[in-house]
A and B are shown apart, each in its own frame.
Chain A
Amino acid sequence: MGIQEQYRSEAAALLSSGEVKLVIGFGEGSTADRRRPLFARTPEEAQKFVLDAACIANLSTYLVTEGLLSDGKKVAVFLKPDGIRSVNILISEAQLKPDQVVILGYAIDKAEITALEGRNISDFSLGEEIRSHTPPPHILQEAERIEEMNPAERFEFWKAHFSKCIKCYACRQVCPMCYCRRCIVDVNQPQWVSTSSHTLGNFEWNIVRAFHLAGRCAACGACDRACPVNIPLRLVNYRMGKEVIDAFDYCAGENSSQKPVLASFKQDDPETFIL
């Protein structure tokens, strides 16, 4: 029995026994190589689940939907390791209760897809794996190329990218960490970020989002894929993740009991830049 059939029947069993009220997984997409989220509330609907190497989206973003878990019932969700990492971060930020999420874990290695052991978040230990995790080679090379530039070149690089931004906020919508009910960009008294899509406002928006994701990003790359104008958002998120590892020895999402990095401190944190 393939993993798809295994998870279909497991999802159906979870729903028919009433253990979970909803299973979030993947269904057929608009084209053969795309998958779209499928929300199954009955065992029959669970038979429509698809699980293959095209299932790359991070479905944990649906877990923070307002009101979804407020009735105390459980939800099952199909997650790759980066999705599990997101769940760890969300739990550490008190956005989820660990026992409300049933994880149907899978990993994709090239075209191979394997099931992950464990159903509860505490069954998964990501520690070493994510700390040594490196982004895809092209991201890494690009990040190194930017590090070697001088500030003016870097500024031009990002200006060229950010000037394309149309402020559709797809990066925000797709991100499991962007759960604020009122995003800073929607605040208008004072108006921190200008909402029209001129380059300055785009710059501010992207800087603010990157800052808010610092030490929280699960590196799932969803923002990067969602961006309609192909801004390499992963680059800046990768750089921020590296910074918190280097400066504070903190890797987001290693486990669900860590304290958020910018909500904690050590007395001997580095401060080389302060006069």
Chain B
Amino acid sequence: MSEPFEPKIVAFVCTYCTYAGADLAGTSRLKYAPNVRIVRLPCTGRISPMFILKALQKGADTVLVSGCHPGDCHFTAGNYHARRRWTVFRALLAFTGIPEERIRFSWVSAAEGAKFAEMINEITEQTRKLGPFTQYQELQKVIETQSTY
């Protein structure tokens, strides 16, 4: 019998806000879904779109990208740059048919432990409904099964 589907969620977070927020959720003993794998980065400006693609390539069902609220960046402007990048990247993914629900963006401050916990629960539930992202994960096999050459 196959095991029930457990969503794999990868969260790329900045260390100054969202990671601290996740830390607060932990120290406040808030319970949230264990499906999220957090990757801590210095700033949202450090989050390359390649990270998102790599996470999907390695089998993530949903990717979350999260950082400081606008104006709160430790490096003054990292999140503003990231925001532009995401706007464009998100449009690109939508145009190439990667569902928008698979890539989520948020601002979570160091004080918002509860928001972080709620958000992870909500994303986990939504991903459970969406099911595994097999559409993308199966791309690797296409060449073996329906080679055009």
Q: Considering only CB atoms, which chain A residue lies closest to B48 in the complex?
A: A192
Find out whether the CB atom of B87 lies under 8 angstroms from the CB atom of A152. Answer: no
- The CA-CA distance from A266 to B135 in the complex, in Å, is 36
Q: Considering only CB atoms, which chain B residue lies closest to A235 in the complex?
A: B95
With a cutoff of 8 Å between Cβ atoms, the chain A residues found around residue B136 in the complex are 200
Find out whether the CB atom of A155 lies under 8 angstroms from the CB atom of B87. Answer: no
Q: Considering only CB atoms, which chain A residue lies closest to B144 in the complex?
A: A198
Q: How large is the interface on B (under 10, 10 to 19, 20 to 34, 35 or more residues)?
A: 35 or more
Interface residue tally for chain A (C-beta within 8 Å): 51
With a cutoff of 8 Å between Cβ atoms, the chain A residues found around residue B39 in the complex are none
Find out whether the CB atom of A262 lies under 8 angstroms from the CB atom of B88. Answer: yes
Residue A146 at the B interface, CB < 8 A? yes
Segment of A40-48, A58-66, A91-99, A239-247 in the binding face: A239-247
Also in contact, A243 and B50, with CB within 8 A (given A151-B98, A207-B92): no
Residue A38 at the B interface, CB < 8 A? no
User: Which of B53, B77, B104: most chain A CB closer than 10 A?
Assistant: B53
Find out whether the CB atom of B84 lies under 8 angstroms from the CB atom of A274. Answer: no
With a cutoff of 8 Å between Cβ atoms, the chain B residues found around residue A263 in the complex are 81
- The CA-CA distance from A153 to B104 in the complex, in Å, is 21
Binary A-proximity of B65-96 (CB < 8 A = 1, otherwise 0): 00000110000010011011111111111111
Find out whether the CB atom of B97 lies under 8 angstroms from the CB atom of A158. Answer: yes
- The CA-CA distance from A208 to B92 in the complex, in Å, is 10
Residue B49 at the A interface, CB < 8 A? yes
Q: Which residues of B contact A (CB under 8 A)?
A: 49-50, 53-54, 57, 70-71, 77, 80-81, 83-100, 104-107, 119, 135-136, 139-140, 142-144, 146, 148
A-B contact pairs, 12 of them (CB 8 A): A152-B135, A159-B142, A198-B139, A200-B139, A207-B49, A207-B96, A215-B88, A243-B87, A248-B84, A269-B80, A273-B86, A274-B107
